[in-house]
Structure 1
Amino acid sequence: MRLQGKNMIVTGGASGIGLATVERCLREGANLVLSDLAASDGAARAQALDGHGGRCLFMPCDVTSSGQVDALVAGTVKQLGSVDAVFSNAGVGGLRPAHEMSDADWLRVIDINLSGVFRVARAALQQMYAQGSGSLLNCSSILGGLGQSGAVAYSAAKAGVVNMTRTLAIEAAPRGVRVNSIGPGYIDTPLLNDLSPEMRQALIALHPIGRLGRSDEIANAVLFLASDEASYVTGSHLLVDGGYSAGKS
């Protein structure tokens, strides 16, 4: 039980990587707050997973709202007593060429994928500093270090997450708090279901490992960084991408 007794928040926890992380960390003994938009399937997901009475709670949160983010952290402390780990995973896509992107489209992606991560970090760090311990994990992307046509706002936000993580790690280290980021490659989720067989195969070919990733493989990385096994790891950006970035950096 690598997270036995630890209290953890996962934003964007109702599906995909977030949900896989909730499931994995529950199996390792953590108490989980599954957080997502109020209109998501989060409440039902948490209820289905909570087979141990109060070990998986749903708390709605829109990361574009500082008030809701602050309430999420405060609510976790009220219900569970502490915040030992946070996986800041909430995010959106938004592929569009730069010359076609409106201010509103740009600001939406930046607000959720970058400013939202900052809001969660700020609230989490305030609590972790008071405790004198904690592990904050930010979800970036392979596009946090690489460019891709049509992903100008997404790439800018995810690159910002990586460097924000490094800066926060420097600030947080003297206070007993570790801060790291994770860079998933292309993960085989329903978001890729609309790809043609040809496009899917072309995407697979970009990964030296010869396949797309699975959500549980990202969850395993989160588990490690959240656990005491990573006690000397802070300020790192862990790529979990099947070798996608290896020949492009």
Structure 2
Amino acid sequence: MRLKNKVVLVTGAASGIGYAVTELFAKEGATVFASDIADPVTAYCEGVEALKLDVTSEEDWSSAVAAIIDKQGRLDVLINNAGIIAYEGLDELEMKEWLQMIAVDQTGVFLGMREAVRVMRRQGAGSIVNISSIWGSAAVAGAHAYHAVKGAVRNMSKNAAMTYATQGIRVNSVHPGFIDTPLTQAQAADLNDQVIDSTPMKRAGKPIEIAYGCLYLASDESSYVTGAELVIDGGYLAQ
């Protein structure tokens, strides 16, 4: 029960990494509010309440956090996981796709942190975990907007960590490598095979393997950890 009595909000919780985080955290004793713009792929376990949340909407964020405070009186952990991906290179990227990527993957993280920090400052404690990517620290050809926003999430996390370090709020980022999720399953098979072949462990990661990293950062076990980048990538960035 590593998260006993903690109140958690997870975004992008309907599938993939967000779903795995939600289920694990609930089993570890947390009360979890699982938010997504889509319905969950399967029913959640006990201890989970589903919320509709468009992470690009200030109003949705305000309403979601207010509802959590009304029901539980506090918010201990925020997992900013919701995200999308696009593959266009710089010269092919249309403004519409660029702005959508920023809205979901970067502005969504900003809005979530802002709402959570406002609550956590009053509490004097809290943990925020932002899901970035190995592409926030390194690059491959193409996917210009995705690289841009995940790099931004990396540095936004560090800024918030430094800003609120003396107020009991910890902020860290998690950097997954290639993970087997609906997002990556929708990609071209040859692209997936290329990334997996370039991964020293020669396999895709599992959502639960990312969830366990988030669990550590959300728990009191990481009470002296802030501004850190937790890379979970099968050795990709070590090359």
Give the TM-score normalised by the residue count of structure 1. 0.92
Cα pair distance change 1:246/1:228, threshold 3 Å: same
- CA-CA distance at 1:198 after TM superposition: 5.6
Task: Report SS of the residue matched to 1:63.
Answer: coil
In structure 2, C-alpha distance between the alignment counterparts of 1:85 and 1:136, rounded to whole Å: 6
Q: After superposition, give the CA deviation of every residue in 1:107-157 in whole Å (9 maximum; x if it has no partner).
A: 110111111100000000000001100000001000001112111111010
Which residue of the other structure, out of 222, 225, 232, is the alignment partner of 1:233? 225
**Alpha-carbon distance, 1:195 to partner:** 6.1
Return 185-194 or 140-149, whichever deviates more.
185-194
Alpha-carbon spacing, 1:237–1:103, altered in 2? closer, same or farther (3 Å): same
CA distance in structure 2 between the partners assigned to 1:211 and 1:205 by the alignment: 8
User: What is the aligned-residue identity percentage?
Assistant: 41
1:68 aligns with 2:60: yes
Displacement of 1:172 in angstroms is: 1.0
Distance 1:81 1:113, change over 3 A: same
Pick from 133, 144, 156 the counterpart of residue 136 of structure 2: 144
Q: CA deviation at 1:41?
A: 1.5
Alignment of structure 1 residues 111-126 onto 2, 5 Å:
111-126=103-118
Which letter maps to 1:41? D
Q: Does 1:177 align with 2:169?
A: yes
The answer on whether the counterparts of 1:5 and 1:30 sit within 8 Å (CA) in structure 2 is yes
Alignment-mate amino acid for residue 172 of structure 1: Y
The AA in structure 1 aligned to 2:44 is L
Residue 180 of structure 2 corresponds to which residue in structure 1?
188
Amino acid at match of 2:6: K
Q: Aligned residue pairs: how many?
A: 239
User: Structure 2: which 5+ residue stretches go unaligned?
Assistant: none
| Alpha-carbon distance between aligned partners in 1 of 2:34 and 2:183, rounded to the nearest angstrom | 21
Deviations 1:169-227 (A, max 9, x none): 01111111100000000001233446676654432221112211000000000000000
Aligned to 1:23: 23
* Matched-pair contact (CA < 8 Å) for 1:169–1:179: yes
Partner of 1:49: 44
Q: Deviations over 1:22-57 (max 9, x none)?
A: 0111110000000001xx113x74xx3243xxx211
Over the aligned positions, Cα root-mean-square deviation in angstroms equals: 1.5
Change (3 A) 1:170 1:192: closer
Report what 1:210 is aligned to: 202
State the Cα deviation string for residues 89-115 of structure 1 (Å, max 9, x = none): 111001112111111110110111111
Contact kept? 2:172, 2:228, Cα under 8 Å: yes
Q: Look up the match of 2:155.
A: 163
Which consecutive unaligned segments of at least 5 residues does structure 1 have?
Answer: none
TM score, norm. by length of structure 2: 0.95
- Tell me, in whole angstroms, the C-alpha distance in 2 between the residues paired with 1:82 and 1:146: 37
The whole-number CA distance in structure 2 between the counterparts of 1:206 and 1:231 is 34
Aligned to 2:76: 84
- In 2, Cα distance between the equivalents of 1:233 and 1:179? 8
Q: Residues 50 and 57 of structure 1 are in contact (CA less than 8 Å); yes or no, is this contact kept in structure 2?
A: no
Q: Secondary structure of 1:93's partner?
A: coil
| Candidates 87, 111, 116, aligned match of 1:95 | 87
* Mean CA deviation greater in 202-211 or 159-168: 202-211
Determine helix, strand or coil for the equivalent of 1:245. Answer: helix
**Could you tell me how far apart the structure 1 residues matched to 2:161 and 2:84 are?**
24
